[in-house]
A and B are shown apart, each in its own frame.
Chain A
Amino acid sequence: MENTYQNYRFKKLRSIYCLLPAILILFSQFLTSPLLGQNQRFIKGLVVDESNNSMPGVTIVSFKTKKSLGQTNTKGEFTVKIGDNENLLFKFIGFVNKTVIIKPTDKNITVVLKEDQNGLDEVVVRGYVSRSKELSTGSSFTISGAEVQDVPVANIEQLLQGKVPGMNIQINTGAPGFRGTTQIRGLSTLSVSGSGNESFLQPTSPLYVIDGVPLDANSAEEMGYQQQGPGVSPLSMIPQEDVESIEILKDAQATSLYGSMAAYGVIIIKTKRGSSEIPRIRYTGNYFVKTPPKLRSTLGGNLERAFKINEILQNATSISDIDKISQTPFLSDSLNAYYNNSTDWQGLYYGSTFNQSHNLAIDGGDQTFSYKTNLGYYNEQGIIQNTGFERYTGNIRMDYQPNNSNLKFMGQFTGQIGKQNKGSGTGLLQTGVASSGQSSTLLPDPSFYTSSNEYLSALSTDDDNLVKSLRANIEASYMILKGLSANAAVSYHFQSKTESTFVPAEANNMITKNYAYNGTETELYSRNSLTYSLSLHDKHNFFFNAFNEIRIVNSQNASITQVGTANDQIKGPIGFDAIKSEGGIVDYNDQRAISFALAASYDYKKKYVLDLSYRLDGSSGNGFDDLYTKNPAVGLRWNFSKENFSSELDWLNMGAIRLSWGINVIPNSTLQRIYGKYNITGNYNGEQGIGIDYGTIPNPVLKPTTTSQFNLGLDLNLFHNKIDLIYDTYYKKVDNLLFDMSLPNTVGFSTLNSNDAAISNYGHELSITFRPLPATSKVDFMFTINGAYNKDVLTKLPAEYGGQYIRFDTGDTKQHNLYRVGSATLSNYLLINEGVYATDSDVPVNPKTGLRYQTNGTFFQAGDPIFKDMNGDYILDEKDYTRTGNNQPLFTGGMSTTIGYASFTLSINASYTWKRTILNNALADRLSLMKDPFSSTAVVPLTDINMWRKPGDIAKYPYAYNYTRFSTISPFRYDQTLWAEDGSYLKINNIILAYQFNKRLVRTWGLNNLRVYLSMDNLITFSPYSGPNPENVTSMGRDVSNGYPVPRSYNIGINIEF
């Protein structure tokens, strides 16, 4: 009985996308009716819920043949034809399936369906093992594959935005094939690399476990903007149509079983498996248009010239500037070739693109044997010319579980090809395009003659990036005894990454450039486990899971650059400039890791649950002193709704309190950090010397970064599934963070990798789902809102710093960061802007010297920005910087709603971020375009800017037209709070309108199912931010004008099932 019931549970799942029963109705009614035997009879009945309301639309399935026999009518009544010894199964979404044994005497029966006590039979994954959610003590969130469909994206992560409380996803690039940033529960790092606009926070993405195989998604991004290689995100390689479910593990109880790599959370992705007795073919096609956001408006041609001349005449401080007008041909010489142009430079680069994706899934089989093949194609042309992403995927899976056997077997093979084109940029940044887009409209159209480097470079650079990935995994389990199973999984993953870039001569100062990158990575992964479950008197339940994991990762990357080949046609291998050309192995990695884990779980009548787990992680990168990191966790759960006192409460369907604690340890050691770096330097007795690099002192006692986390959660299901609430609060402490400490010059070495920094995050997460309409309503309505509050506090810095460290930006922006113990971790360290001096007399005067407030020897005047003189010395200098703003968001979350009526379904998804400081460097760039009217940069209309124009104006922005001030007081310097804006936003991520064709109708067309949908992505963002998109900013919260804008897309899609 238990087994058959399991079968039916499985069937129920299957029916979500399997409409097989519908066909069977046809067959049974049209084909089988003449063949009715004598032993067939009709049975009538009524289906009601617990409150005795009749239930229309309940599916009735034959227990024996698994065929659908029909549905209840609007009054909840049914009449079905059954054979002898036939039992019936009644199914309705949101209700527990019910099997009714039909006695030969039954003619008219009444069936009472019980409401499904939401979520309790949901399954979660812990340590590669499925467990009932009812017994889980950790904090996790599950999203079904159906929620990530209908909006074509290269990277499914995009569609998770705003759906999971506590998972902060910022889609901060529109570059096809790249991914935004993902953080679970706040900040876990202090490491900022790069400078200026290219500063980036070390990515701390969660660990992805795809079909039971862990995948490190950070690896592609370690290099930041200047990464080498193709940079295709591994997540961009999974077609969304193939996703069965996604589970996000948030607290340490859930993640600690995944060890070191899971310190930033775990995202478990399961792909679909075959589940249809009759083989079926499903096709999904999307046809979508990507449109660039509104571009910067620019004054063209004559307007630009008039504007520049006017700017000079109004603000020139010397007669030579006036004279210079007549010496600048494009301003004054009407016969000059540069005079009569109006070139739309931005329009040359940005444009709408038409794209498509196709996915074909073939599956079939039953509980014993099932198979699936998924073929996907995705093509996205970037809205910047010469950029794009193309993907081909194939995934074959087979599941086998012989009847009456204790053996289960799964085999899967996945092949993926991702092809990316980055144009002349690095993907995330398109610097060439951005600076060329700022060219004066007076410059003639690009042509070979003008040899506009950036234009040609952007369009004619031959950039070809390929990622080829093959993965095979097999999993087998065998039940040795009742309750005791052995499981083994092996996976082999091979990935090749190549990049080939050719820049033709005319695009690169008449020197050709050939760049090739070649990387391979292999990973062998194996896991063996034993699970044992035991139940004593149906009261005391035990579950044990012991497993070990072995990973062997090898990678080698090489690159070669050849400069100055003979011509654009001969790209080598001979005839290049040997001096400027270089090449070799870029990096090499041979890593072994072994882990042992043990998890034990106990519950008493499913009321009180105790989870204990312990994992040892050893890695060849750890160093010998600390070979194994230890990751313990404890979890408790109390299902208080099962207590007697609450079982009588009508409105409380489910209630549970969870409490957990756990640790994830990430080793910081690398061979270089332990042993130092040796370089070929100098020579000794005529022999080449190899000496230590004095940059960083070796540190063999580097401690691993330890993330410990407490979580307290509350799960509630109220008013018969109408309200679903999940609340979590947590405290996460990240200790022993890597922090580069400067050493005194007497030491010899300049920096020490120290371990003495720490961050704490604490916060609250809430998710509420409303289903206010009764299950019988014609309108299906669901509304979910979630939000997360996260606050990070820097709790420790190396003692030598006395509680404060300033990371001075060495780039041109000088937007520094201040780390101060006790405050938000990533604060900006800037000059405070307090407006604009309306008149000269508003500038403060030093009472001692009688001099006006000044900087670099220039006195401030009307129209100049008011920089707060923090130390009161009437001189603006670096002493006037102060801590301001936090570039990490305080609140993130989202909302979504689904409304279904008849065959239509409308879903709207939104996400929001609240309280985040972002620096609008793009506006600074835009205003700074005014700095030199004699140069060949574009000018932009500033009529919409609240700018000082004449004495007495109270304005926000300083006077931009006085170009002589740019070199003295730099009114638009980046390092001021004028650019610090509130980056809060509410974004309508997408709207999907779907129509499901009548099944009878489509059957006449030879189809089994037909569904069409319209969707729009990145629809609109509401924000107080003055720039175009508060989300399209770097992880350090800077809106850089050379970023890749996030496009909007309009899509028509179709699902066909044969």
Chain B
Amino acid sequence: MDTRKNRYIGTLILGVILPFSGCKKLYNLPEETLYLSPDISYTSQILEPVLGRMNILGSVSTNYSSLPITFEIKNPRYGNGKVYNDLFQVKPTYVWDAEYTGNETTLEEIESKRHLEDHPLFEVDNNGNFILWPSSNNELIEPRSIDGEDLTQNIRYFDLKISNSQGSKTIKDFQFLPWRERPYDPYTDIDPYTGELVPDPLDPSNPNKHDHITPSLSNVVGEKSNEQLVINSEKRDVVVYIKPFEGGNGHNLRFKFLNTDSLPINPAQFNETKWDNIIHGFNKTITDKYVQYDVAYPIPLTNISTKYSSNGNASVNFSYSRLGYGGILSISNISLEFKIFHPGDWEIVFHFINDNPKFEDD
């Protein structure tokens, strides 16, 4: 057999098949590209975070653009074009490693679940969420003006570049208008613009009176009046102060009760209170003036539902029982939902203004 001819035929056959095996190029088919929607948008481009706490802001609709998408803050400037960098100072801040459950038995156990990490005060993550870390404060970032009139040259602007391997798109002119720090919540006693005390709504022109935080009362009867103590728009029988105190170990939380003479009420009077379930704290110290715990800040640590929390707030409930008329067991409760954002030694004071609670049996 003629090998040369064999080879000829072989070449012929290969010559037919080969050009078609690299088909994709030959057929000039489009390469698969990821999708970046031209309609990526945010529901609002004005960001109004509160300094000094964890803020996750922004609601992006990526319109099913292909992941991963990267988001970058570009062109930070004031309204007058002046560049700012204060938002991007890198400071250590807590990030979680494991889930806080509310069942931890020591402070160390809680601390082992988080660690400090360096982050710019303000950044954008891969989901398009803007993060203002709790490491921010009034000193590092100047909050909005106290009169509420923000001039364009004082407003921080930036653009956002959104890209994936398909391309990029820039959303222009985000505004960053931070509120000054509010170390705790509810913050009804302080004006969010100025950080000053809020005048008493019942007597707004009196400079000596101001608004307060109020707890919830249930079946608390006044000692003198023998009537239920109330909190409403006309009358506040009990108010709450959330304030720092001196002499703690830096992460204490104290509960105090003051009578109408501003003298401490012995916490033991609140005889039905489950002091171990009041707050996720340790090293409980009960004196006749206050109850104190070692705690981890912020309070609550996360907004998971635990036995210490309700609706994402720390929830405390002090209760006592006494015998009412006819020998009925009467249970009274004073409760408060709150948050404290700044670490420190804090005390929460329940002040009976008009009448002391009646602990005695009828």
Contact = CB atoms under 8 A, between A and B. Distances in A.
A762 interface: yes
B328 interface: no
A506 to B, nearest CB: 49
A764 B33 contact: no
A806 B13 CA distance: 43
B193 interface: no
A648 B8 CA distance: 13
Contacts of A714: 13, 16-17
B95 interface: yes
Nearest to A801: B35
Contacts of B1: 649-651
A714 B96 CA distance: 65
Interface stretch (A546-554, A845-853, A1013-1021): A845-853
B126 A822 contact: no
A845 B97 contact: yes
Interface string A703-720: 000000000101010000
Contacts of A640: 9, 12
Contact of A872 (B5, B29, B126, B131): B126
A645 B96 contact: no
A219 interface: no
Interface in B19-71: 20-21, 23-24, 26-27, 29-33, 35-38, 54, 56, 62, 64, 66-69
Contacts of A821: 30, 32-33
B67 A870 contact: yes
A950 to B, nearest CB: 20
A646 B9 contact: yes
A657 B16 contact: yes
B54 A849 contact: yes
B102 to A, nearest CB: 11
Interface in B66-83: 66-69
The interface residues of chain A, by DSSP majority, are classed as mixed
A731 interface: yes
A642 to B, nearest CB: 13
B114 interface: yes
Interface residues of B, number: 51
Contacts of B27: 731, 760, 762
B5 A851 contact: no
The interface residues of chain B, by DSSP majority, are classed as loop
B360 interface: no
Nearest to B301: A850
A632 B202 CA distance: 91
A640 B20 CA distance: 20
B96 A849 contact: yes
A806 B64 contact: yes
Interface in A880-905: 881-882
B31 A822 contact: yes
B126 A871 contact: yes
Contacts of A649: 1-2, 5-6, 9
Given A655-B9, A803-B35, A879-B62, A845 B96 contact: yes
A135 interface: no
A822 B96 contact: no
Nearest to A881: B64
A686 interface: no
A989 interface: no
Contacts of A841: 98-99
Interface in A533-588: none
A820 B32 contact: yes
B129 interface: yes
A620 interface: no
Contacts of A881: 64
Nearest to A655: B9
B29 A648 contact: no
Contacts of A840: 99
Nearest to A795: B30
B302 interface: yes
Q: Which of B17, B36, B113 has most chain A Cβ within 10 Å?
A: B17
A648 B2 contact: yes
A37 interface: no
A996 interface: no
A849 B54 CA distance: 8
Q: Which of A712, A841, A847 has most chain B Cβ within 10 Å?
A: A847
Given A762-B23, A803-B35, A849-B96, A822 B29 contact: yes
Interface string A676-714: 000000000000000000000000000000000000101
A843 interface: yes
A651 B6 CA distance: 9
Contact of A820 (B35, B97, B114): B35
A845 B23 contact: no
Nearest to B13: A714
Nearest to B95: A847
A871 B304 contact: no
A463 B303 CA distance: 61
Nearest to A649: B5
Q: Which of B35, B62, B66, B303 has most chain A Cβ within 10 Å?
A: B35
Contacts of A646: 5, 9
Contacts of B266: none
A802 interface: yes
Contact of A795 (B29, B64, B98, B114): B29
A796 B29 CA distance: 10
Interface string A295-317: 00000000000000000000000
Contacts of B320: none
Contacts of B114: 850
B318 interface: no
Nearest to B115: A847
A804 B40 CA distance: 14
A729 B17 contact: yes
A652 interface: yes
B259 interface: no
Nearest to A732: B27
A962 to B, nearest CB: 20
Contacts of B8: 645
A873 interface: yes
A793 B29 contact: yes
B138 interface: no
Contacts of A871: 62, 67-69, 126-127
Contacts of B2: 648-649
Contacts of A820: 32-33, 35
A1030 to B, nearest CB: 26
Q: Which of B23, B24, B68, B126 has most chain A Cβ within 10 Å?
A: B23
Interface string B186-224: 000000000000000000000000000000000000000
Contacts of A502: none
B100 interface: yes
A848 B95 contact: yes
Contacts of A846: 96
A657 B56 CA distance: 67
B302 A851 contact: yes
B9 A845 contact: no
A796 B301 CA distance: 51
A804 B64 contact: yes
Nearest to B35: A804
A845 B301 CA distance: 14
A727 interface: yes
Given A851-B302, A873-B129, A712 B56 contact: no
Contacts of A657: 12, 16
A284 B69 CA distance: 67
Nearest to A874: B127
Interface string A947-986: 0000000000000000000000000000000000000000
A823 interface: yes
22 contacts: A652-B9, A714-B13, A731-B26, A762-B24, A764-B20, A793-B30, A804-B66, A822-B31, A845-B98, A847-B97, A848-B95, A848-B96, A849-B54, A850-B100, A850-B301, A851-B99, A851-B302, A852-B99, A871-B68, A873-B127, A879-B62, A879-B64
Given A821-B33, A845-B97, 4 more contacts: A802-B35, A804-B66, A845-B99, A851-B304
